[in-house]
Amino acid sequence: TYLPAADGFEVAGARGLLLSMAICMFIGVVFRAIGRKHRGGHLFQKEAMAVVGLSWVLATVLGALPFYLSGTQISEGSPITFIEAMFESQSGFSTTGATVLTDLESPGLVPHCILFWRSWTHFLGGLGIVVLFVAILGQGSAGKAMMRAEMPGPTKEGSMPRMQATALAFAAIYVGLNIILTITYVLEGMTCFDGLCHAFGTMATGGFSTYNASHGQFTSSLIDYTTIGFMILAGSNFTLLYLTLLDGPKRLFRDVEFRTFIGIIAVVTAGVVVFGMRSGDAGFATFSDSLRNGMFQVVSVLTTTGYGTADFDRWNNFGRGILLLLMFVGGCAGSTGGGMKVIRHILFYKILRQEIEKSHRPRVIRRLRIGGMTIDDPNLAHGIVVYFAMILAIFVVSWFLLVTFEPSSTWGVAEAETAGSVESSGDPTKQLIRKNTLDEKLLDSASAVAATLNNIGPGLGVVGPTKNYAGFSQGAKLLFVWLMMLGRVEVYSVLVLIFPTFWRRI
Amino acid sequence: TYLPAADGFEVAGARGLLLSMAICMFIGVVFRAIGRKHRGGHLFQKEAMAVVGLSWVLATVLGALPFYLSGTQISEGSPITFIEAMFESQSGFSTTGATVLTDLESPGLVPHCILFWRSWTHFLGGLGIVVLFVAILGQGSAGKAMMRAEMPGPTKEGSMPRMQATALAFAAIYVGLNIILTITYVLEGMTCFDGLCHAFGTMATGGFSTYNASHGQFTSSLIDYTTIGFMILAGSNFTLLYLTLLDGPKRLFRDVEFRTFIGIIAVVTAGVVVFGMRSGDAGFATFSDSLRNGMFQVVSVLTTTGYGTADFDRWNNFGRGILLLLMFVGGCAGSTGGGMKVIRHILFYKILRQEIEKSHRPRVIRRLRIGGMTIDDPNLAHGIVVYFAMILAIFVVSWFLLVTFEPSSTWGVAEAETAGSVESSGDPTKQLIRKNTLDEKLLDSASAVAATLNNIGPGLGVVGPTKNYAGFSQGAKLLFVWLMMLGRVEVYSVLVLIFPTFWRRI
Ligand SMILES: [K+]
Ligand SMILES: [K+]
């Protein structure tokens, strides 16, 4: 798809990239000089959190430079704004894969080198997650509790060299899987460029494609099932993959989270196939098509990859409803996937069951057990439930902001057409359009928040699998940048940055 | 509105009522005989929960008899089914006020004595809440923690005579307010019948009316503001009302929950007025109309009364969105209102803020403080968050059941018109109808679950303020019966009944 006519534009793209590199290096040198005299100090928890949070903000801004400086256009005649460039950069690093670019295939709008940079942010984001969050910082409270008993690698008190060894091993697995997948893709018929970009998008559970039709561009069932397999790997715990490499595959199914993860895929795919065939949805004509399309979309949403080979927004309501719910499940802890993670849902279910039991048997003390192992950390249950509460609160507040302030024009309807006066106008068509727009606003806003907060990408309606985020107002895009960041660092490290007591006496 | 032509039908209604009374008495005599030899025993927690849960189930079934035996029709030619009768009875006792009766004003469909019975179930339900849940059982964990410090009345260890005295005092306040409101209504121009029924509906935060236009039938601004005032009283903590009677009104605003409750009404009403006038919604032509209509609907939904004087489903999205959220707030603990209660939201907010602070200041131990008082119960925070989690889980599961199994005919559209094949038919009008129906299904189902689980009554779309629950399938109606019960007894006492370990060695 490389057209000579766009040569000048490619040069502008390359210039933008080089300029961005220069700016980054300059900032790096300055920071290094500032930090020189503090070498060897010890980081306290608060400072570590500030470093994680602020680094992410800095990465978003610097990652936006190539888009902004290359003259990329979100559509014919609309050069990308800096907020939109930040959206694209955040979406890449956080491996969300939501985009504001409406046409990826016009070399006059988005240069190829920028397309590559876009996919490369996925690779970097995924690598950062695997090395920083999984290998070095542990995997959040739920993951930590799981790891402590099983893991030969780092624990909270892990020594420096051991941490470095684990980080290296995890990075090697991640890079290795990217290479294997790229080669497989090329053998299955992709170009080298497409193979690399889609391998990055898959292994990071990112979802940026190089085509407007996303993964649907490749109509090969071989490629589809390859991607399904590698999305499942990318959504699995890297600690578990590492242990499986050492001990063999019997290890995999001894892990309760992995078993549940696979179980969800199997059950939901079965449901989607049954309801899809019954309703006669597009892509569900034969059983083999239904299985392929159903499983692809289910795995893509559950692992929070967000690649699409079918427009699930046009499915029946069982399919749409269950995919909306799956968005909040997410991959396994310690994977590159986003979302709330399977293990948290397992624990959430066990905690609720325990609470109901406690209410009528107050004297029976039961410990939380998972995978045959007792969890003694008394704060774990509280932590899990508080995490659900946080996600709920963020979801509700963001949804309400969008519903209140996002103009109707985002839904392709003039503001006047949704005014109250239309109600009393007596024109039934106008009334239907108003009602439909207002309803879509409530629903699509909810799905857009879910899709960005859980780092998935596509949602329902105006942000459906064949749509994009270009139509939203700049304010909404900024909100999404924030939500993608919150989702990726699992809330706390970023949320504290806006908390006034955090900055007091830092 | 009493028509002589319906005389025979009124007789059938009275016969149904008398027959129901006979059945109830017979069951009462049988149970009394069975229980005679167990007199004077002690109830354990488990048995107390079983008594509360099973009594509620029994009350629902017995309360359904008058509707079923009187030949009531939900619409011309559709006699009420027993599930629908249970829906109406549960809706009355739980003070939800959702109805399956499509025409209350045809004396050939619903006899007047049945209309009165329907409102009377509100009165009984409200009395039961005030006496049983508030005065005797305390007010759930949040309310209990509040009461312990303030309250001259019952505590967990309250003595029998003291409990009885408090129960009597609360019942007297409740009955007294009902009488005062009835007299006020009659002085303001209602008939005795309407005055009684609407007083019951208001003080119990029930919402059953005797008119199809609900409270909108009375176009008097005097009656509207009277109802607003008494809804606020009904949504307030009866313990606080009792203390105010003893100590004077300065007591009211020293209570943090009451202050927040009034604050929410003020802020949300202001928002609804501003957005309603800006959008030009029906009923927002002048400022005085906007204030009256806005405040009425806000107070009605917040206190979970559910009376309507305007169709908020046709408002702009700020209004629709905020009312949907208010449904989950509810009245004050210890009121006749449903929902999750204001105090739980205050505590929820404080807990989340505390958790964020804890994440970067792990060594600073802070106690939860509310209204200048420290809460020492370590289980309180956990209990609140788990309660939110329960409501969330029940909401999500119920929503998903409706979305999956409720036929499109509930939305007035044939099943075939929402099939996937419509998508590929190429007819844009058909496609719009399909998309609109599927979206409405997702949205209306959510609002129907919210409106029944929180004991409000009306929701959005197909269950909007001018609609009713008649169109739903029998299965959905049974689900709503269950949700109204769950909401009213605040989840635990009923949820445990379906829990297998509950029945083991009871
Ligand atoms: K993604
Ligand atoms: K109600």
Distant-in-sequence, close-in-space partners of B488: CB < 8 Å, separation ≥ 6: B56, B93, B94, B95, B96, B125, B129, B338, B455
Q: Is A73 helix (H, G, I), strand (E, B) or coil?
A: strand
Q: What percent of chain B has pLDDT over 70?
A: 84
Rounded Cα gap, residues A386 and A382, in angstroms: 6
Rounded Cα gap, residues A302 and A334, in angstroms: 15
Lowest mean pLDDT among A226-235, A483-492, B134-143, B220-229: B134-143
Cβ contact B29:B126 at 8 Å: no
Rounded Cα gap, residues A458 and A465, in angstroms: 5
Cβ contact B210:B115 at 8 Å: yes
Q: Is the confidence at residue B334, as pLDDT, over 50?
A: yes
Task: Look at residue A491 and tell me if it is in a domain.
Answer: no
Cβ contact A451:A330 at 8 Å: no
Q: What percent of chain A has pLDDT over 90?
A: 37
pLDDT at B155: 41
Kind of pairing between the strands at A368-370 and B369-370: unpaired
Q: Is B467 helix (H, G, I), strand (E, B) or coil?
A: coil
**B450: DSSP letter:** H
Task: Look at residue A386 and tell me if it is in a domain.
Answer: yes
The beta-strand segments (E) located in A238-336 are: none
Q: Can you tell me the mean pLDDT for A384-397?
A: 87
Interface membership of A47 toward B (CB under 8 Å): no
Give ∠ CA B107-B192-B309 in degrees, rounded to 5. 75
Q: Can you tell me the mean pLDDT for B288-310?
A: 93
Burial of A429 (0-12, 13-18, 19+ CB in 10 A): exposed
Task: Look at residue A428 and tell me if it is in a domain.
Answer: yes
B362: closest chain A residue by CA: A45
Q: Is the confidence at residue B216, as pLDDT, over 90?
A: no
Task: Look at residue A383 and tell me if it is in a domain.
Answer: yes
> Please, which pLDDT band fits residue B148 given cuts at 50, 70 and 90?
very low
At residue B158, what is the residue type?
A: G
Q: Is the confidence at residue B86, as pLDDT, over 90?
A: yes
Rounded Cα gap, residues A382 and A380, in angstroms: 5
Lowest mean pLDDT among A10-14, B20-24, B83-87: A10-14
Comparing B483 with B37, the larger pLDDT belongs to B483
Minimum-distance CB partner of B360 among A46, A420, A421: A46
Reported as a single tens digit per residue, the pLDDT across A199-213 is 999 999 999 999 988
Reported as a single tens digit per residue, the pLDDT across B389-408 is 888 889 999 999 999 999 98
Q: Is A373 helix (H, G, I), strand (E, B) or coil?
A: strand
Closest CA to A296 of A316, A277, A275, A312: A312
B435: closest chain A residue by CA: A314
Interface membership of A429 toward B (CB under 8 Å): no
Interface membership of A404 toward B (CB under 8 Å): yes
Contact criterion met (CB < 8 Å) for B360 and A403: no
Rounded Cα gap, residues A493 and A133, in angstroms: 12
Gap from A422 CA to chain B (nearest CA, Å): 9
Task: Look at residue A34 and tell me if it is in a domain.
Answer: no
pLDDT at B146: 43
Rounded Cα gap, residues B232 and A403, in angstroms: 28
Interface membership of B285 toward A (CB under 8 Å): no
Distance B290 CA to ligand 2 centre (A): 23
Containing H/E element for B73?
strand B73-75
Q: Is A369 helix (H, G, I), strand (E, B) or coil?
A: strand
What is the total residue count of chain A? 506
Chain A interface test: which of B44, B327, B359, B401 (most A C-beta within 10 Å): B359
Q: Determine phi and psi for B472, rounding to 5 degrees.
A: -70, 155
Reported as a single tens digit per residue, the pLDDT across B27-41 is 888 888 887 776 666
Count CB neighbours of A217 within 10 A: 16
Rounded Cα gap, residues A188 and B476, in angstroms: 49
For chain A, the domain total comes to 1
Task: Look at residue A110 and tell me if it is in a domain.
Answer: no
Count CB neighbours of B349 within 10 A: 12
Rounded Cα gap, residues B99 and B74, in angstroms: 9
> Please, which pLDDT band fits residue A254 given cuts at 50, 70 and 90?
confident
ipTM: 0.86
Q: Can you tell me the mean pLDDT for A153-168?
A: 61
Reported as a single tens digit per residue, the pLDDT across B46-74 is 666 677 778 888 889 999 999 999 888 88
Cα-Cα end-to-end distance for chain A: 52
Minimum-distance CB partner of A441 among B317, B325, B361: B317
Q: Can you tell me the mean pLDDT for A336-351?
A: 87
Strand partners, B79: B73
Rounded Cα gap, residues B387 and A375, in angstroms: 22
Strand partners, B439: none
What is the total residue count of chain B? 506
Quote the mean pLDDT of chain B: 83
DSSP-derived secondary structure for B265-277: HHHHHHHHHHHHH
Helix-strand-coil split of chain A, %, nearest 5:
70, 0, 30
Cβ contact B243:B278 at 8 Å: no
Lowest mean pLDDT among A32-36, A185-189, A226-230, B451-455: A32-36
Beta carbon pairs, A and B, within 8 Å:
168
| Set of chain A residues whose Cβ sits within 8 Å of the Cβ of B436 | 432, 435-436, 439
pLDDT at B381: 75
- The ligand placed nearest to the CA atom of residue A203 is 1
Q: Can you tell me the mean pLDDT for A318-333?
A: 91
Strand partners, A368: A375
In B367-425, which residue ranges form alpha helices assigned H by DSSP? 378-405, 421-425
Closest CA to A450 of A498, A410, A392, A490: A392
| Set of chain A residues whose Cβ sits within 8 Å of the Cβ of B396 | 325
Q: Is the confidence at residue B496, as pLDDT, over 70?
A: no
Closest CA to B135 of B56, B242, B46: B242
SS (H, E, C) A100-120: CCCCCCCCCCCCHHHHHHHHH
Q: Structural domain of residue A420, as residue ranges? A: 342-466
pLDDT at A506: 45
B50: closest chain A residue by CA: A360
Q: Is the confidence at residue B160, as pLDDT, over 70?
A: no
Q: Can you tell me the mean pLDDT for B452-474?
A: 89
Task: Look at residue A461 and tell me if it is in a domain.
Answer: yes
Most confident of A241-245, A444-448, B465-469: A444-448
Rounded Cα gap, residues B123 and B107, in angstroms: 23
B 361-400 residues with CB < 8 A to A: 361-362, 381-382, 385-386, 388-390, 392-393, 396, 399-400
Rounded Cα gap, residues A24 and A30, in angstroms: 10
Contact criterion met (CB < 8 Å) for A357 and B499: yes
Distance A461 CA to ligand 1 centre (A): 18
Containing H/E element for B201?
helix B192-203
Containing H/E element for A331?
none
Q: Can you tell me the mean pLDDT for A34-43?
A: 68
Burial of A175 (0-12, 13-18, 19+ CB in 10 A): middle
Task: Compute the radius of gyration of chain B from its Cα atoms.
Answer: 23
With tokens 């197909």, the residue in question is B462
Gap from A330 CA to chain B (nearest CA, Å): 16
